[in-house]
Structure 1
Amino acid sequence: MKFLVILFSFSISLIASEKPNIVFIFADDMSIDATGLHGIYNCKTPNLDKLAKSGVSFTRAYNMGAWSGAVCAASRAMLNSGTFVNHAKVAIKKKPHWSEYMKQAGYETYMTGKWHVPGAPRFDVVKDERGGMPNGSGYNRPKSLDDYKNGWKPWDKSRGGFWEGGTHWSEVVANNSIDFIERAKNVNKPFFMYIAFNATHDPRQAPKEFIDMYPLEDMDVPKNFLANYPYDTEIGCDPKRLRDERLMPTPRTDFAVKVHRQEYFALATHMDQQIGRILKAIELSGKADNTYIIFTADHGLAVGNHGLVGKQSMYEHSMRVPFFIAGPKMKKGSVFETPIYLQDIMPTTLELAGVEKPEYVDFKSLMGLIRGDRKTQYDLIYGKYIDFQRMVLDGDYKLIFYPKINVYRLFNIKKDRLEMNDLIMNPEYKEKTKILKEKLEQLMQEMGDDN
């Protein structure tokens, strides 16, 4: 009998050890444009570029939206509950979390960094859990060159923020992650790591050498720059009231946009360096061949696009994020252009871990796409922001709706990536607009969209 118990225990251990390790790396407020590989601007992210090339990248990964200005809270609630935006506010409190399913599958679960989800993180090990954002942001800046020279500085540690505690928070996240990997390499048990950076959220603070990588004279102002977005107040992006929009002076100026993008890219590059350290630790651990590494962000960010600063819009810069998966079953250099939701990673990892997807989970595993079993993940992509904005994406066409003022905007995002050419008044698109309006109305009903 004792022999049978030992044999059974050995079998369970063997099964567990055969499961792949999963490392999920999550950024905050990071648009796809803040990467070197798929971005259109000169943001340097060599480690993320290398990760993307070593596996699969999805170039049209979207966040579904939010029920408040804290878009990251809704995004993370969807991610950890697996439910769509109109269900997640309740589900995140009442349903098991992503980490709990991984634990049930035999994984040791680990979390460090930003949480921003109701309740305590449900992981075996939690290290330096952070709140929604660091304090220390400078608002309404820079108003002038003198204000820039003499005012708030991203490397000034006395301002707190990412420097609170003496070590930059991105470095703390990397240090914690490396410590766990060092310990896990000697344990015969699969691990699930949830590594959540606060970068590239404001305050966009980084060491001075990273700021110096982006001289202001070399910074580009987005081609779709506006001094003010024409409907900013009506769509919930009032530059005098919404926190994100108050970071930059209004009317927006070329100079202010360059400064903010300088700091945004510098923080992204600094985070990329820390991610490189984590990837190196995985490589040295001896576990890399049986480890999936995923990188994405909770939503994008405007930082000057369309005269906006934050993430509270239905434009590509605020909804679309980088999304990479590297690992044993991922074909190196594969690129998928079909639209997905970033939260699809939750059921994807459940499938990789051999866990049956719970019936209430709305998002879909990406493995069918990756294996080639299907070509499309969703027929339509849906977006919402409180009761101010709605969106439907159908192939190359995006219809945006502002319910408060009954305004529609129509873009062909394949031909017009920066969404500068509104087609809504073009008579050639009258029938297309009619069809998309009907699809949006139907999609809202399917999504349980009642606010």
Structure 2
Amino acid sequence: MRKNIFSLLILGALFSTCKPVEKKEGTAELEEQKKPNIIFLFSDDQSFKDVHALGNKEVKTPTMDKLVREGTTFTHAYNMGGWNGAICVASRAMIISGRSIWRAQEISDQYAKDKETDKTWPKLMQTSGYDTYMTGKWHVQAKPKDIFNHVGHVLRGMPFDTPEGYNRPLNVHDTVWKPWKKEFGGYWKGGKHWSELVKDDAVAFLDSAANRKNPFFMYVAFNAPHDPRQSPKEYVDMYNLDSISVPNSFLPQYPYAETMGAGPTLRDEKLAPFPRTEYSVKVNRQEYYAITSHLDDQLKDILEALEKNGQMDNTYIIYTSDHGLAVGEHGLMGKQSMYDHSIRVPLMVIGPDIPKGKKVATDVYVQDVMATALDLGGVEKPDYVEFNSLMNLIRASEAQGNYNAIYGTYEKGSQRMIRKDGYKLIVYPKFEVLRLYDLVADPEELEDIAEAPENKVRIKLLFEELMLLQQTMGDKLDLKPIYNLM
């Protein structure tokens, strides 16, 4: 008996001197600890200005506001642009592949031939033991069923629209179109609003995942608030038209619309009449806010399902959009521009050890979400992934950004952009037009200062930096002839 007691005392002493195994400084967890779940919530056409907590007091987004309060928000997240008018195609190709825009275009051609799909985001998550799930808007060449373990509804790039949704409203008497009228199809095609359809899919998967051993990665992609901006009547009624403001950058027509490849023949630009009227812009913004609020309620249901199933404490949530939208700013309706309203998006990261209420103003790319998820899931980032995890910026009190400058592009020859050191230089190569904005003094980009003599040196330096970025991005457009004219 005395011998047994002595043995127990020795064992107790040994255990008391053992130090607990510490977590690594990164996001890879202990082998004994369950890997975290990761949910990627993705909207379409949502500008950074379309969130109440990020400064727009007109739009009502209580769930998105909660994400801002409960996590870390990147206030300057950018999409690089697009190789055609469907900007979301390029944005999503970059996100799923990890490549910058022109290499993402090349890899998209491979996806169409069922090649290289093993290097996609969900496939990489699977290498770390994740069950992967997708529902909603896709618009990527790779087939979802070939790269995700589980697939819900796969929705087309944009809801089916009708002629009644364009060139409207002409005046206060133009009332044919109503966002809640199901006969116009769009989000109502099939009977249930597509945002609700995606939400139901996501909640059903969360319910089924509650009893699974493997961690899960969910790719939940809404079409909203992309046009046709339809929502139930009660959401439109939330917004009194008289309370909707006209943007400070409102113009009847953008002077370089044709030059930049966003003229009146572009589909997005045909949504409202030419020239733009304040009334048509207000109505379009009313419907934009309404469908955003409807989306916000679907997000609420997903978060409540997480809570109900006891999954919240071990789940990271990333919320963002593929790109922004003008909806009347600078005389534009679409997203085919290099202005912040069209390339800058909301981006929030929420999770067990993510600082709450933190805002990071460092310039990042929206496509950094892929590398961030890999980091959180303990997946080593392959060399071909060109974007970077946001976790260093989330964890540090002060940290240098991952990019010296932000690059932007539209089509092979229509627009180029560089954002650096508080300035933005936009180039319209076809007509050798330059536009320069001081983003600190003029964050809404209202005053083009390219012609000011004192900015000549600054423009030259930014132009040189832009050409270097082109080389890095594999951008083959030759800007030297324009540079030589400066």
User: How high is the TM-score relative to the length of structure 1?
Assistant: 0.95
- Where 2:402 maps in the other structure, the secondary structure is coil
Residues 170-209 of structure 1: pairs in structure 2 closer than 5 A: 170-209=195-234
2:186 to 146, 152, 161: 161
Q: Partners in 2 of 1:16 and 1:210 — Cα distance?
A: 47
Residue 245 of structure 1 aligns with which residue?
269
Rate the CA distance shift 1:285–1:144 in 2: closer, same or farther, 3 A. Answer: same
Residue 49 of structure 2 aligns with which residue?
33
- Where 1:419 maps in the other structure, the secondary structure is coil
Instruction: Provide, for residues 269-309 of structure 1, a one-character-per-residue CA deviation record: whole Å limited to 9, x for no partner.
Output: 00000000101111111111110011000000000000000
Q: Partners in 2 of 1:193 and 1:141 — Cα distance?
A: 37
2:162 aligned with 1:146: no
Residue 438 of structure 1 aligns with which residue?
464
Identity %: 51
- Where 1:189 maps in the other structure, the secondary structure is coil
Shift of 1:16: 8.3
Instruction: Provide, for residues 150-194 of structure 1, a one-character-per-residue CA deviation record: whole Å limited to 9, x for no partner.
Output: x11100011111001111110111111001101111111100000
Of 375-384 and 441-450, more deviation after overlay is shown by 441-450
Q: Partners in 2 of 1:280 and 1:225 — Cα distance?
A: 39
Q: Partners in 2 of 1:19 and 1:130 — Cα distance?
A: 30
User: How high is the TM-score relative to the length of structure 2?
Assistant: 0.88
Shift of 1:19: 0.6
Aligned letter for 1:435?
L
- Where 2:195 maps in the other structure, the secondary structure is helix
Shift of 1:375: 2.1
Select the structure of larger CA radius of gyration: 2
Is the 8 Å Cα contact of residues 41 and 220 (structure 1) preserved in structure 2?
Answer: no
2:155 aligned with 1:130: yes
Is the 8 Å Cα contact of residues 17 and 190 (structure 1) preserved in structure 2?
Answer: no
Q: Partners in 1 of 2:252 and 2:210 — Cα distance?
A: 52
Residue 9 of structure 1 aligns with which residue?
none
- Where 1:18 maps in the other structure, the secondary structure is coil
2:97 aligned with 1:71: no
Shift of 1:39: 3.4
- Where 1:146 maps in the other structure, the secondary structure is coil
Is the 8 Å Cα contact of residues 134 and 151 (structure 2) preserved in structure 1?
Answer: yes
Residues 114-129 of structure 1: pairs in structure 2 closer than 5 A: 114-121=137-144, 122-129=147-154
Is the 8 Å Cα contact of residues 78 and 84 (structure 1) preserved in structure 2?
Answer: yes
2:255 aligned with 1:233: no
Is the 8 Å Cα contact of residues 424 and 437 (structure 2) preserved in structure 1?
Answer: yes
Aligned letter for 1:102?
M
Shift of 1:395: 2.2
Q: How many residues align?
A: 435
Of 89-98 and 358-367, more deviation after overlay is shown by 89-98
- Where 2:317 maps in the other structure, the secondary structure is strand
Residue 331 of structure 1 aligns with which residue?
355
Q: Partners in 1 of 2:55 and 2:106 — Cα distance?
A: 35
Q: Partners in 2 of 1:269 and 1:415 — Cα distance?
A: 31
Q: Partners in 2 of 1:196 and 1:39 — Cα distance?
A: 24
2:310 aligned with 1:294: no
Instruction: Provide, for residues 9-44 of structure 1, a one-character-per-residue CA deviation record: whole Å limited to 9, x for no partner.
Output: xxxxx9486110000000000001110111335111
Residues 213-232 of structure 1: pairs in structure 2 closer than 5 A: 213-232=238-257
Q: Partners in 2 of 1:120 and 1:329 — Cα distance?
A: 34
Is the 8 Å Cα contact of residues 381 and 393 (structure 1) preserved in structure 2?
Answer: yes
- Where 2:183 maps in the other structure, the secondary structure is helix
Q: Partners in 2 of 1:322 and 1:403 — Cα distance?
A: 29
Residue 27 of structure 2 aligns with which residue?
none
Is the 8 Å Cα contact of residues 22 and 193 (structure 1) preserved in structure 2?
Answer: yes
List alignment gaps of at least 5 residues for structure 1. Answer: 1-13
Is the 8 Å Cα contact of residues 16 and 190 (structure 1) preserved in structure 2?
Answer: no
Is the 8 Å Cα contact of residues 355 and 395 (structure 2) preserved in structure 1?
Answer: no
CA RMSD of aligned residues (A): 1.2
